Structure 1
Amino acid sequence: MSWLLIAGSLAAVAAAVVVVVALLWPAGGTADAVPSNDSADAGFARDMAIHHQQAVELSFIVRDRTDDEDVRRLAYDVINTQANQRGMLLGWLDAWDLPKSSQEMPMSWMNHDMGSMPGMKGMAGMDYKPHDGSLMPGMATNTEMDQLRKASGKQAAILYLRLLTAHHKGGVAMSQAAAEMAKSDQVRRLARGMVESQEAEMRLMADMLKQRGAA
């Protein structure tokens, strides 16, 4: 399958997830349907909004640092998909009348009862310690962000693919947890959609790295 077909398919899947989730979110509802401030739903919405914001930033940086058209197209897809999903997550917090930030450590919602859940023991995030600007697993450090800003051409393209692959791995782990823990059907659906789309992008990026002679 050609790159254009793959990229188009990924974009279509992501767009479909956004549309379906938006349509299924109820215009009204009872108080029982609104997640609490310390729920997995709210924690995931806050943390994934931050996680997505960095992916968008990485993609804007590489767009201006390389002429590799395939990498630039991937970056464009990431910018559009993850910016849209970030807006949805923040919009849900608004609809729930919950704050968009928290004094809790990132991913603390994953530690509440994940350890006893089937398949969740040892999940990334359980014992993660934020460092050098990397707040959650997979997030690039400030040092890595600076390296991407200084790189150019093929070097920038390869570094972006490596950083985004690691970023997606962390995002998939978080989304898998939300798909298991969230109480809202809409949050679980979006989380499952993120797992599927980001795993597909990771496979694509593995092929792109091989094509560029990188591991």
Structure 2
Amino acid sequence: MTAPGEAPAGRPAFQRPVVIGATVIAVLLVGAVVGMFLTQLATRDDAASATPAAGSVEVGFAQDMSVHHLQAVTMASWERDHTADQQLRQLAFDIESTQREQVGRMKGWLMLWGQPEQATGEYMTWMNSGAGHGHMAMAPSVAGTGGSDGAVMPGMATNTELAKLRSLSGQELDVYFLQLMLRHHQGGTDMAQYAHDNSPNPAVKALTQSILTSQGAEVTLMRDMLTARGAQPLPFP
């Protein structure tokens, strides 16, 4: 029989303190890991909830993509009103309504963030040209002063191209609209992908994912529609 205070037969008296000490250390290590995780999570949440400042990816994207979208709305509205092809009319309506709503969302962000609807410097300064997302050279973002005949951002149509679109009718109009809009979507998805990859803001991530999904489907559709009409896409820089 073991006397009070003695260790059981065959078990060293020092074993229980060692086991208890190991348990305490394990608990402390788990606590440290959990603490580090929570700290990282809080830091990430703080970055995501911070109000975007001038020059940030979020502000630059909202300002520039609004301009980019509005040209798509203009082209889609023209096609919708002038095509005799019901499939093209539906596509144009879908693009116009979707991108008009997205512009309203981005302008709402800019108002909440205390930022102007359009930057007064250059377009695309928020997008790193060395990140593998090809786009044309930046141009002044003051309305009406864009370079390259008005094509101030990737995929955008020039003033000459817009005038040509308005001069066409029938299948020529439909084909040229598809060519211009396909190229426009390619530029827009590059911008959306960069913002999605480089912004922690949940609202920006949600919108850019929506753009990538919807425009990706439309790109496939427009390629198929061009093929069905015996036409090819325009080159994209």
TM norm structure 1: 0.79
State the partner residue of 2:155: 138
1:88 aligned to 2:90?
no
Q: Give the distance between the partners of 1:208 and 1:125, measured in 2 at CA.
A: 25
Task: Give how far 1:128 is off.
Answer: 4.8
Larger RCO: 1 or 2 (CA < 8 Å, sep 6+): 1
Residue identity matched to 1:73: Q
1:213 aligns with 2:223: no
Residue identity matched to 1:163: L
2:174 equivalent to 1:167 = no
Whole-Å Cα distance in 1 between the matches of residues 184 and 105 of structure 2? 20
CA distances 1:83-103 after superposition (whole Å, capped 9, x unpaired): 000000000001111111212
Q: Show structure 1 runs of 5+ residues with no match.
A: 1-28
Structure number with larger C-alpha Rg: 2
Q: Say if 1:51 and 1:136, in contact at 8 Å, map to a contact too.
A: yes
CA distance in 2, matches of 1:126, 1:75: 26
Aligned partner of 1:201 in structure 2 is 218
Rounded Cα–Cα distance in structure 1 between residues aligned with 2:98 and 2:118: 22
2:134 is the counterpart of 1:124: yes
RMSD: 1.9
2:119 is aligned, of 79, 87, 102, to 102
What is the identity percentage for the equivalent residue pairs of Structure 1 and Structure 2? 41
Partner of 1:59: 76
Partner of 1:148: 165
Alignment match, 1:78: 95
| TM-score normalised per structure 2 | 0.72
Q: Structure 2: how far apart are the matches of 1:189 and 1:138?
A: 22
Offset, 1:210? 1.3
Conserved in 2, the CA contact under 8 Å of 1:52 and 1:82? yes
Instruction: Give 1:183 shift.
Output: 3.0
How many equivalent pairs are there? 180
C-alpha deviation, 1:126, in angstroms: 6.6
